[in-house]
């Protein structure tokens, strides 16, 4: 578990439920728009989690240079709490 995720989870009180399991998320993108005229995108995905109406960054993937169809090696390992709504948001950025 990343230090960022652990810190965010602790501050949001996410370690209080005994009914949980771990889930792993692996991400890939297909056909990212090439909006730069001079270069291909350098994509990175940021994972955010919502709790109490606040979005907090949990973790992020590596940047894959000059790629419109990236497959990330980063694996997000998250705690999944049964019978609780857990909202995740994935933001795709072009890091130039």
Q: How many domains does the chain have?
A: 1
Segments forming the whole domain that contains residue 85: 3-94
Q: What is the pLDDT of residues 21-35, one digit of tens each?
A: 999 999 999 999 988
Helix ranges (DSSP H) in 1-96: 3-11
For the chain, strand residue ranges (E) read 20-28, 43-51, 54-60, 71-81, 87-94
Span 65-93, pLDDT tens digits: 999 999 999 999 999 988 888 999 999 99
CATH number at residue 31: 2.60.40.150
pTM, 2 dp:
0.76
């Amino acid at each position: 578990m990343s230090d960022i995720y652990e810190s965010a989870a602790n501050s949001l009180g996410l370690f209080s439920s005994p009914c949980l399991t771990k889930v792993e998320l692996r991400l890939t993108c297909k056909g990212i728009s090439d909006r730069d005229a001079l270069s291909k995108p350098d994509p990175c995905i940021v994972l955010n989690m919502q709790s109490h109406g606040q979005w907090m960054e949990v973790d992020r993937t590596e940047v894959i240079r000059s790629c419109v169809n990236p497959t990330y090696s980063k694996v997000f390992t998250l705690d999944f709490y049964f019978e609780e709504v857990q909202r995740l948001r994935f933001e795709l950025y072009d890091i130039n």
